[in-house]
Structure 1
């Protein structure tokens, strides 16, 4: 019977949760060896995705990507983090940032499948779509 990415992720989570970092390193090394021995290396992207989901769920963490035309200042970044904490009922928000001049101004927040588009290019696109209707 083949083990699924979800089963591997749950097992790895149980093995590493609340362990000291020196133990985690050894556990992960052995875990990778087992997955490789089982000829299921191709499952690693799914394992890591599920592990991240399980970890974030337990520790009430949301991951978000913010795309903006220019670097956000600390005040705006804090507002976005506070908004996301409230929206997703989490204690911590981990943000990755990307600069994209094509959005002209404003920002786009991507959290999982959820997208909040407050960009100028997004507003222009919506306006264009409404005018065409």
Structure 2
């Protein structure tokens, strides 16, 4: 996975900079997300991996999946990826593009797991506290995980904050076992 991200980074950065210059970040984000979804499809992966099929034909097949005529810039981008045999990187490029966008807009998406359903008021208090702490707009996605027993686990990217009863019991067990 890290290798795909490394290969995708220069493409994602270049297309993000171009989208920013064109003031079309939202358009590019949506288009890349759709192209990534298509490229991640198992049947499409098989087509993209076919050595006998010309790379430009693969790019055209991806472009044909869009309902509307592609903007010339996106069509050119798919052609560049095809020329460099990088169409399979579209999911990683889209993910990186979204991260660059979130960084520019100073937003962060966080997944919160709790032992019990949070009320809207509790979610808002958590959003407000995290927004102040991180100095970013927080978008919260919550889920219930009864195995936590109590407390909360917050995840975003590489950051994990485990304030659950299960996590505290695991730390105690490790300390006793040492």
The TM-score, its normalising length taken from structure 1, stands at 0.78
Q: 1:72 maps to which residue?
A: 118
Q: 1:42 maps to which residue?
A: 88
CA offsets 1:62-121 (integer angstroms, 9 cap, x no match) = 12111122321112212221222122221x112222322211222100121111111111
Deviates more, 1:52-61 or 1:20-29: 20-29
C-alpha distance in 1 between matches for 2:134 and 2:177: 35
Q: 2:17 maps to which residue?
A: 14
Report 1:20-99 matches (<5 A): 25=31, 26-27=70-71, 29-30=74-75, 31-90=77-136, 92-99=137-144
Q: Which runs of no fewer than 5 residues in structure 2 stay unpaired?
A: 1-6, 32-69
For residue 153 of structure 2, give the secondary structure of its aligned residue in structure 1: strand
Q: Which runs of no fewer than 5 residues in structure 1 stay unpaired?
A: none
* Residues 51 and 103 of structure 1: CA distance in aligned 2, closer, same or farther (over 3 Å): same
The TM-score, its normalising length taken from structure 2, stands at 0.61
Q: 2:34 maps to which residue?
A: none
Bigger proportion of residues as helix = 2
Residue correspondences, number: 130
Pairwise CA distance, 1:22? 6.4
